[in-house]
Structure 1
Amino acid sequence: NATRTFLKLSVMSFETVVPLQVPQIWGDRQFSYFTPDITPIILAAHTNNYEIIKMLLQMGVSVPKPHGVRCKCLECSSNSDADSLRNSRSRLNLYRALACPSLIALSSEDPILAAFQLSWELLELSKMEIEFKSEYEELSHQCKRFAKDLLDQTRSSHELEMILNFRDDITLLNQENSNDLARLKLAIKYHQKEFVAQPNCQQLLAARWYGEFPSWRKRHWAVKLLTSICIGLLFPILCLCYLVAPKSRCGLFIRKPFIKFICHTASYLTFLCLLLMASQHMMFTDKCNEGPAPTIVEWMILPWILGFVWTEIKQMWNDGLQDYIDDWWNLMDFVMNSLYLATIALRIVAYVKYRGKKCRDDWEMFHPTLVAEALFAIANIFSSLRLISLFTANSHLGPLQISLGRMLLDILKFLFIFCLVLLAFANGLNQLYFYYQTRAFSTFFETLQSLFWSVFGLVGLHVTNVTANHKFTNFVGATMFGTYNVISLVVLLNMLIAMMNNSYQQIFDHADIEWKFARTKLWISYFEEGGTLPSPFNIIPSPKSIWYFIKWTKKHIYRRTTSKRRERDSAIGEVMRHLIKRYVAATIRHAKTEEGLTEENFKELKQDISSFRYDVLGLMKEKGSFLKEDKSSNKESNLKHANHSPNNSTASNGQQKGKLISKNIHSSSSCDRSAARYHLASEASFEYELPVGNTTKHLLKTVDEGAGTEQLPGRAAEIGQQRDQRVERLEELSSATTSHEPSTE
């Protein structure tokens, strides 16, 4: 605050004394770096600058929430009419700022929920703002990655459970059972695949799934198979025990998610076996009876159908209509159950209305029995294909099942183009051959059938021939038929293969995430408190169901407030703060790791070296006079020392001196390295009679080249060796002088 006040007063005083001369070009908006809608906090959010964002938020600055794309208010209409491009770019800049991880972490009480909602909103915007689709998708992925990174910071199961079980709309009814993974369900709803597939989350789910069998994954596959078969065969007994005594050991055993999954699978396999028995007509039936009575097998199938219908009703009631429709398997169940109910209704109508016997060939086309048999056959196909959903639990079959579902979307896209081509050529061929009444192209419907089956090679070229001698008509018809086959087989069919290959490759590239997300959806459906009993036992009223209904009614009539929510909010708030602190610390640590040596580091190093050079040169200039005065005395002392000392002692003294300097520099701290550099230069100049300028320049050059203090000890040893060589040279000169000169007193 003091610094800010000082800068503000300095600027004010400077403006009063010296008027600022701003170039005219700076005032032009066309030469500005940013558009007018870019504010300081938006710019800081674009660069993900945590410190600046935190400072601006503390000062009360915020990022405005942009209006929706479909907003028809006066402001949006006027901005769009004035400049649609500027309006779209401004919205993109706002969402780019809102998607900043630092801004979400600092401005939101629940960063994970904010990331979920913003990611979903950006994904919807990418479908509407097609021009900026890639930008919005990247921002959506950034929000998903931020939520996943926050979950990475959990360090204990307690923190993880608090995050995954947290819900902001909790009521008294849910407070007693707050262990329902509400946040994880919300992540599935918003398609947060990275968050759901995060290892910490998957570890918690696996621990809950294999609650009674913690070592299930370590067992041999044969042991797993035998255990599953035994539990599956015992599912009727377990269901009866649960109906009679829900709190008994067997009742609690069947409530485990993994056991519940095995029991439901065994029940569905039993239903498929009954369908197979019904389709084989193992019991003799009268084919001429227009209204036959149900067989024993059909009576056995009826409870399963009623149980499936009751399960779908409960699921729609609990999840809501929108969430129920979003799941494609629910739509398949709805169609399957509708077909079975329609079959039952038509069989009842046929049994009541048609009592006589009549040859089946004489029945009318839409006879209730015939329609019921057709619907029952279609329902059997859906029932068998419904078993594919269980493949998600397996790590090998799960990705294949997901790829198959993605390919079905490609087939639907292909059929749209194929139907257009089919209708076009069917119209032309029917118009051409209508007058000849050929069997293949006599009617529009027959033409459609002929063209469709020709794709599979079941229709030959002879269908284009006519009985009359009209060669031109035959040529035109054959050309049209050949062109259709080229377009449908060569172009469209290969395009479908390429699309399916692309879809499979996308799933294969993210197979682990896609499979874990799909498996989590399957597991969550068995984590629910209700739906313990499979069909047909779920249609039997149990004491537990009656007790739950009374409890639900009582809690909705007598509502009361408690302090549990405040305690829960304070606990989850503390966990969120810990996660954010860890996330910020990890982000800073990661940024420093990837940053390495930048241009700023080299500039700072260059400035330090320059300041060190000037300091050393200044000290050398101060001692220059002292060097000149004592130069002769130093030479005489060195000569005298060379004459009176042994060679080995002289050499060893030089090496010890160099090693001593090397040791001092190597052991010095980082803050004393400048003094060490100066000490090395002065010692080298005073003790070893090296030129001061050359020694200093060489040392500074070594530092400038990046050697640093790591190479200075080696340089000190080199200086010691040079000193030894000089001493030896002086001894040789001295001995030569004494041998040639006459001896004097």
Structure 2
Amino acid sequence: EEEFLHASEFGDIPGVKRLLLEYPDLNTDCIDALGRTALRLAVKNEHLEVLELLLDRSSQHHIYEAVLQAISAGHVQIAETILKHRRYLDMWRERRKLGDTDGFFKTAVTAESQFSPDITPLILAAQKNQYEIVQLLLLRGETIQKPHRFSCPCQECRNKMKFDQLRLAKYRLNAYRGLASEAYLSLSSKDPILSAFELAQDLRNLANIAKHFKKEYRELAEQLSEYVVKLLDRIRTQEELEMVLNKTGRSTIEKYEKLARFKLALLYHEKGFVSHPSCQQRLVTLWYHGMGKWDRMNWPLRILLAVCLFLLYPFLLLIYLISPSSKFVKILRYPFVKFVGHTVSFFAFLVLIIASAIESSYGVTKTRTLNITYPNEYTKYSELVNETGTPIFGEDFPLRENFPTVTTILMTFWVIGFMFQECSEVFQNGILDYITSYYNIMDFFLISGYTASFTLRVLYYVYLKGISELLFCDFLLSITITDIKYDAINRFYWDPFDPVNLSEGLFAMANILSFARISYLLPSNESLGPLQISLGRMLSDIVKFLTLFSFVMVAFMVGLHNLFWYYIPAQTNFGDVMATFRTVFWSLFGRGEPGAVRLGEYDNHVTEDIGYIIYGAYNAVSVTVLLNMLIAMMTRSFQTIAEDSDAEWKFSRSILYMEYISDSAVLPVPLNIIAAPKEALSALLCSCCNNSDDDHPEKTENNGITTEAVGVGHVYYL
């Protein structure tokens, strides 16, 4: 046997033949000191003729082990010889007949086997990207079965879980490694780009669930993204590029829609595909459609064209309102023109906010006072002050508004326009697509804030109309301060939950969201876009930090409150819960006092010393440790974005551009209110006339995967 193994290892064909003839009962499956059979030695050293002699005399499991070894070592000719041999084909047909497609429940025959029992030649060849072997096995009818979803409750998955949990986890990983290989995707899928998108999305979702192999699944997803980019690199003409970007529907049907595949890439966050130069070239061409060679113009020509557009824009809008199908207003449907119009409209709304702030500061309080508005009643009030010697409400006091200002009315129209815009978006894209966007959520709270604020003001105006200010002024001499519940007196005497107070609070928060909404426009600029993305990532870091900091803060707050609760008269910093919260919170920003734990007249130095220790420990933990950790997290996020800032910015810009390249609203806010009834009626009639086939999203089938081809809608990335 030793001589036989030596001859097989070094390719001594005459020696092998002689030993097989002299010793008919020779055990061809004998192993050496390292557990290697003669067949494995022949495969290792690529002795093809020796291999052909041994295949007829070796056992099936050693043949199977040999073909895996040949594929692993990259010996394509050896692997093809074994795969085409009669003994291997008989074994493969027998396994197919028994229904053993994945080999999960198969046990290793020999302990020396270096391959997992569930590893098939196709999976291993796919992982090694051996195109010849993969094609041979695919033509034979072999496939890689896609694993069931992680939480699948079927009987097969339960049986596999009971059999071996670790093997099930590795079986799923090995199968996905084969499915995600370039060789398998290129040879098995008629639409490899779509298959790569869907498989990468499944892997990212699986990485968030199967934490133990999170790194491996993410690497496979990145591998698929790189594979798609390699396919884009092979595009040579504009016609080929448009076919790739416009492909939609089933892979067997030649159906194309405008940038359908590009929208899908945005939906799946395939940043490499979206930021590819070929895709960006097509996107920019569509963005400046109808604008001539805007991207190639010098700045003087751009400024001249912008001024002309600005002067003609109002007249074009007027013509559009009268005749939307007119050729003269075709320019309004150009993506770049729509973007400029909507941007100018939004900045006009911000100007109204600023004007409202100036108006409330310098207009209302100085022009609407009791003396100016009602001089006769002011005379009575002055007589009362002279008789009592006490100015009950001051020498003079401002009155509430009794009618909304022009600025408020204009802002109301803008808010109604924003509301129609968001409702149209929900109708077109669906509520699920709508709530996945941070900016959509921001818009919802923004509109809700303004709507609630203006509603409270309207309720107040209605109430004030029923109860005249003059009525209060007539009775001012005969009632006391405590009897006045809802009048035109100084805010010092207003109820804390007065509708005007609530309205102004909501209005202030909505103003902040309005200016924060400017960040949506920043990706249009190459310099500001990456900063906006970095800011978004830093906000997520702040949320994570606040989660940890809240536990630390609550722990120290409860401890300090329980230490000083008895000393409320002398201890104002930690005497009650709210005072403790304010002291602990503001000390984070350096506003805490070292003597905050002193007890004043109480001679209890033990409690004070313990308070100094706890309060000092809190400042050390929160300021020295946690704040520096937050700074480190934000720095890491900024560096991550900076390393790939070009791809990140192009992806964010593409989302912004696609919002206007698609069939979005032409009229900016608030002019969209005029066309809203007509659009709502048209949408209702179209939905009633559609047949049942159009009611369901089109499905695509690729590589055993069935998914819905949906649009990107109003997707944002923050």
| Contact residue 434 and residue 441 of structure 1 kept, 8 A | yes
Is 1:499 aligned to residue 633 of structure 2? Answer: yes
In the alignment, is residue 23 of structure 1 matched against residue 157 of structure 2? Answer: no
Deviation sequence 1:428-457 (CA, Å, 0-9, x none): 111111111122112112111111111222
Looking at structure 2, the residues matched to 312 and 476 of structure 1 have their Cα atoms a distance apart, in angstroms, of: 56
Q: Distance in 1 between matches of 2:207 and 2:343?
A: 40
What is the identity, as a one-letter code, of the residue corresponding to 1:50? Answer: Y
Closer, same or farther in 2 for the Cα pair 1:222/1:481, shift >3 Å? farther
Q: Deviations over 1:73-124 (max 9, x none)?
A: 2222232233211111111000000101111122122211110110011111
1:346 equivalent among 447, 456, 460: 456
Whichever residue aligns with residue 586 of structure 2, its letter is W
- Number of aligned residue pairs: give it: 548
Which residue in 2 is equivalent to 1:604? none
CA distance in 1, matches of 2:217, 2:121: 22
Identical-pair percentage: 39
8 Å contact 1:233–1:266 — kept in the other structure? Answer: no
| Stretch deviating more after TM superposition (503-512 or 205-214) | 205-214
Q: Superposition pairs for residues 549-698 of structure 1, below 5 Å?
A: 549=683, 552-553=686-687, 555-557=689-691
Show the 5 A alignment for 1:246-265.
Answer: 246-265=324-343
Give 1:320's aligned amino acid: G
Partner of 2:430: 320
| Letter in structure 2 aligned against 1:501 | T
Contact 1:305 1:337 in 2 (8 A): yes
Measured in 2, the distance between the counterparts of 1:489 and 1:345 equals 43
> Where does residue 441 of structure 1 map in the other structure?
574
Deviation of 1:214 after TM superposition, in Å, equals 4.0
1:62 aligns with 2:179: no
> Are 1:412 and 2:543 matched, yes or no?
yes
Within a 5 Å distance, the mapping from 1:263-282 to structure 2 comes to 263-281=341-359
User: Aligned partners of 1:424, 1:47: CA distance in 2, in Å?
Assistant: 54
- The one-letter code of the counterpart of 2:588 is V
Equivalent position to 1:385, from 502, 516, 540: 516
Please tell me the root mean square deviation across aligned C-alpha atoms, in Å: 2.9
Q: Which amino acid aligns with 1:508?
A: A
**Hey, what's the Cα distance between the residues in 2 that align with 1:242 and 1:508?**
44
Deviation at 1:188, TM superposition (A): 0.7
Q: Which deviates the most, 329-338 or 319-328? A: 319-328
Q: Give the CA deviation at 1:219.
A: 3.1
Structure 2 partner of 1:305: 415
Q: SS state of the match for residue 111, structure 2? A: helix
Return the letter of the residue paired with 1:104. L
Which of 622, 625, 643 in structure 2 is aligned with 1:509?
A: 643
Asked if 1:463 corresponds to 2:596, the answer is yes
| 3-state SS of 1:280 partner | helix
Query: 5+ residue gaps in structure 1?
Result: 1-10, 570-745
Following TM superposition, by how much is the alpha carbon of 1:220 offset from its aligned partner in structure 2, in angstroms?
A: 3.5
* Preserved contact between residue 210 and residue 258 of structure 1 (Cα < 8 Å): yes
- TM-score w.r.t. structure 1 length? 0.69
Alpha carbons of structure 1 residues 263 and 283: separation in structure 2 relative to 1, 3 Å: same
Equivalent residue of 2:599, what SS?
coil
For 2:590, give the aligned amino acid: G
Contact preservation (8 Å) 2:248, 2:257: no
Distance 2:678 2:328 in 1: 15
1:84 aligns to 2:84 (yes or no): no
Amino acid paired to 1:21: T
State the AA in 2 paired with 1:490.
T
More helix by percentage: 1
In structure 2, the residue corresponding to 1:434 is in which secondary structure? helix
Instruction: Give the aligned residue type for 2:505.
Output: A
Task: Describe the shift of the 1:187–1:303 C-alpha distance in structure 2 as closer, same or farther (beyond 3 A).
Answer: same
Any residues of structure 2 matched to 1:105-120 within 5 Å, and which?
105-120=186-201
State yes or no: 1:149 paired with 2:218. no
Instruction: Note if 1:423 corresponds to 2:423.
Output: no
1:209 equivalent to 2:287? Answer: yes
After TM superposition, give the deviation of residue 550 of structure 1 in Å. Answer: 7.7
Q: 2:534 aligns with which of 380, 400, 403?
A: 403
TM-score w.r.t. the length of structure 2 is 0.72
Q: Please report how far the alpha carbon of residue 247 of structure 1 lies from its aligned counterpart in structure 2 after TM superposition.
A: 3.1
- In structure 2, C-alpha distance between the alignment counterparts of 1:426 and 1:229, rounded to whole Å: 60
Q: In structure 2, how many angstroms separate the alpha carbons of the residues matched to 1:227 and 1:462?
A: 66
User: 1:371 matched to which residue of 2?
Assistant: 502
Matched with 2:319 is 241
CA contact (8 A) 1:290 1:350 kept: no
Q: In the TM superposition, what are the counterparts of 1:535-550 in structure 2 within 5 Å?
A: 535-541=669-675, 545=679, 548-549=682-683
CA distance in 2, matches of 1:105, 1:390: 39
Q: Distance in 1 between matches of 2:220 and 2:631?
A: 32
**Structure 2: distance between partners of 1:557 and 1:312:** 26
Once the two structures are superposed, the pairs formed by residues 698-717 of structure 1 within 5 Å of their partners are none
Larger RCO of the pair (alpha carbons < 8 Å, separation 6+):
2
Q: Secondary structure at the match of 2:248?
A: coil
Question: What's the CA shift string for 1:359-412, capped at 9, x where partnerless?
Answer: 322221111111011000110111011112111001111111111111100011
Instruction: Decide whether the 8 Å contact of 1:243 with 1:542 is kept in 2.
Output: no
Q: Give deviations 1:207-231, integer Å, cap 9, x for gaps.
A: 1111233432333445535644553
Contact kept, 8 Å, 2:420 with 2:676, in 1: the verdict is no
Q: 1:67 to 1:539 in 2, by over 3 A?
A: same
Equivalent position SS for 1:541: helix
Report which stretch shifted further, 501-510 or 225-234: 225-234
> Is the Cα contact below 8 Å between 1:228 and 1:262 reproduced in 2?
no
Letter in 2 for 1:507: I
Contact 1:392 1:401 in 2 (8 A): yes
Identify which range, 310-319 or 209-218, moves more after superposition.
209-218
Residues 1:358 and 2:489 aligned together: yes
Deviates more, 1:247-256 or 1:64-73: 247-256
The one-letter code matched in structure 2 to 1:388 is S
Per-residue CA deviations over 1:159-197 (Å, capped at 9, x if unaligned) read: 212221222179x9x98xx64311111111111000001
- Partner deviation per Cα, 1:268-327 (whole Å, 9 max, x = no partner): 111111111111125436485567421111111111101111111111222222222222
Q: Distance in 2 between matches of 1:19 and 1:246?
A: 92
From 441, 448, 456, the equivalent of 1:331 is 441
Measured in 1, the distance between the counterparts of 2:580 and 2:692 equals 68
Mark the CA change 1:328 to 1:542 in structure 2 (over 3 Å): closer, same or farther. closer
Give unpaired runs (5+ residues) of structure 2.
1-16, 38-61, 63-108, 370-397, 468-486, 702-718
**Local SS of the residue matching 1:45:** helix
Q: Contact (CA 8 Å) 2:126, 2:178: kept in 1 or not?
A: yes
Aligned CA distance change for structure 1 residues 538 and 309 (closer, same or farther; 3 Å): same
Write the distance in 2 (CA, Å) between the matches of 1:404 and 1:312: 25
